[in-house]
A and B are shown apart, each in its own frame.
Chain A
Amino acid sequence: MTLESITKTLSLKMITVDQNLSHEITGAYVSDLLSDVMANAKEGDLWVTLQGHPNIVAVATLKDLSGIVLVNNRQPEEETVRKANEEGIPIFSTDKPAFEVAGELYMLIKEK
């Protein structure tokens, strides 16, 4: 399932500019610890977190993640959005908590 159809199905709000949405998403990782994401997320994963500071973009770039979903209506800092647009990392927000987002993502991805 592509990132674009996932964002539509889960009604995720797009915060960054419209780019890099055609990736096929085969996995996701839920964590707020950056080093944990560094250690355990897989290339291409969609990352679900509540951290909104600019460093999440560095982590996503270094791990080649497909995008970041901010939960509980968290808004990223301005600098985060700027960096994300520059690096081509899509960021989304949702008012749902991580548990629900993870559950929905799991169903979507496992169905495939």
Chain B
Amino acid sequence: MTQEKTVTKTQELVYEMNVGKVMVTDLITVGPDDCMSDLQYLLRDKRISGIPVMEKERLVGLISIEDFIRCLVDGKMGSLVKEWMSSEVETLYDSDPLIHAVNKFDRWGYGRFPVVNRQTGKLVGIITKGDIVKGLLKKIEREYHRSENVPVQTDHFFQDVISNHAAIIFQYDVIGKDFDRAGETSSNLKKTLKKIGIPPAVARRIGIACYEAEMNIVIFTDGGELTARVNPQKIAIEVVDSGPGIPDIEEAMKLGYSTAPDFIRELGFGAGIGLSNIEKCSDDMHLESIIGKGTRLEFTVFLNRGKK
């Protein structure tokens, strides 16, 4: 199975990718009047098996390690490149699909083909079978990497769940007095809700209401807990802290009423808008508090209807 798949993918890539993508572009070339003895260092040091022969930016031939060996056997290392090179050079275009290259290697049995640009006719690279293999492997690796990183599809979470009752619970600890991290809980919850397919407008309302609740915990308490219960009908949020409690809830709900100290207000918090923001964003809100014990806030946003 797997092997079959790989072959198909490779075949697909061979049609998809072009020669320009895998060819080598930092070219080493020689001139037709260069001496054959100069080649030995190039072939050895650069570990290459064939070199394009260029005359005034024009490709005039190709000299390969086989040509070099013939010359060596004849003991004519002092002769010139043009006497040994093959001047009938088969080339590929950089825009050719790789399959053309593969076919050409099969048909001619050569080890390499110079690559020219279709428009300019200029030499732009050289390609060997090794380059093709390397190019394909790289591409496959990239695609594999990408497929591994595709996020899990969760945006139809509830549509895919078959049951009479389903709910997901997200729980967050909110740290008191930590103004640097304040807001993270609400941001994370909002992102999570969007990921499981909650409409953005609903996620935003929940985000805003949770932010205000989170800020109340951060400003006034030593910490608390925020829990979101999500089911296909509604999102219910419960925010609980362990003190100091709200002395007068009716008063606290009034727009602009605030007990926040000055330094908090300078940061832009504590404007006395928070609780009414929560009320505005939710379909249903319930707040209870005992001085010295703590505060419990619950609010709900319904999913399948507009705001009340």
Interface pair B187/A35, CB less than 8 Å apart: no
Of the residues A33, A63, A87, contact of B268 by C-beta under 8 Å: A33
Bound-state Cα–Cα, A87 to B190, Å: 13
Interface pair B207/A62, CB less than 8 Å apart: yes
Of the residues A33, A43, A58, A64, contact of B183 by C-beta under 8 Å: A58
Report if A55-B267 is in contact (Cβ < 8 Å); known contacts: A33-B273, A38-B208, A64-B204.
Answer: yes
Interface pair B277/A43, CB less than 8 Å apart: no
Chain A residues whose CB sits within 8 angstroms of the CB of B184 once the complex forms: 58
Task: Give 22 CB contacts A-B under 8 Å.
Answer: A32-B268, A34-B215, A35-B271, A35-B272, A36-B273, A38-B208, A38-B212, A51-B267, A51-B268, A53-B180, A53-B268, A55-B183, A55-B267, A57-B183, A58-B182, A58-B183, A59-B211, A61-B187, A62-B183, A62-B190, A62-B211, A63-B208
Bound-state Cα–Cα, A33 to B274, Å: 11
**Is A27 close to B, CB under 8 A?**
no
Q: Which residues of B approach A to under 8 Å, CB–CB?
A: 179-180, 182-184, 186-187, 190, 200, 204, 207-208, 211-212, 215, 267-269, 271-274, 276-277, 280
Nearest 6 A/B pairs, CB to CB: A58-B183, A35-B273, A62-B207, A33-B271, A34-B268, A51-B268
Of the residues A36, A58, A79, contact of B186 by C-beta under 8 Å: A58
Report if A63-B183 is in contact (Cβ < 8 Å); known contacts: A35-B212, A35-B273, A35-B277.
Answer: no
Chain B's interface: helix, strand, loop or mixed, by majority?
A: helix
Of the residues B179, B183, B272, contact of A59 by C-beta under 8 Å: B183
**Is A39 close to B, CB under 8 A?**
yes
Looking at A59, A62, A79, which has the most chain B CB atoms within 10 Å of its CB?
A: A62
Bound-state Cα–Cα, A35 to B186, Å: 14
Chain A residues whose CB sits within 8 angstroms of the CB of B207 once the complex forms: 62
Interface pair B269/A35, CB less than 8 Å apart: yes
| A31 → chain B closest CB, angstroms | 8
Chain B residues whose CB sits within 8 angstroms of the CB of A79 once the complex forms: 180
Bound-state Cα–Cα, A39 to B204, Å: 12
Interface residue count for A (Cβ, 8 Å)? 23
Nearest B residue to A31, CB-CB? B268
Contact with B along A21-50 (1 / 0, CB 8 A): 000000000001111101100010000010
**Is A54 close to B, CB under 8 A?**
yes
Interface pair A55/B268, CB less than 8 Å apart: yes
| B135 → chain A closest CB, angstroms | 31
Contact with B along A59-76 (1 / 0, CB 8 A): 101111000000000000
Interface pair A87/B187, CB less than 8 Å apart: yes
Chain A residues whose CB sits within 8 angstroms of the CB of B280 once the complex forms: 39
Chain A residues whose CB sits within 8 angstroms of the CB of B271 once the complex forms: 33-36
Interface pair A62/B186, CB less than 8 Å apart: yes
Q: A33-B271, A38-B208, A63-B208 are in contact. List 8 more A-B contacts (CB 8 A).
A: A35-B271, A39-B280, A43-B204, A54-B180, A55-B182, A56-B268, A58-B183, A62-B207
| B283 → chain A closest CB, angstroms | 17
Looking at A32, A49, A79, which has the most chain B CB atoms within 10 Å of its CB?
A: A32
Nearest A residue to B280, CB-CB? A39
Report A53-106 residues with CB < 8 Å from chain B CB.
53-59, 61-64, 79, 87
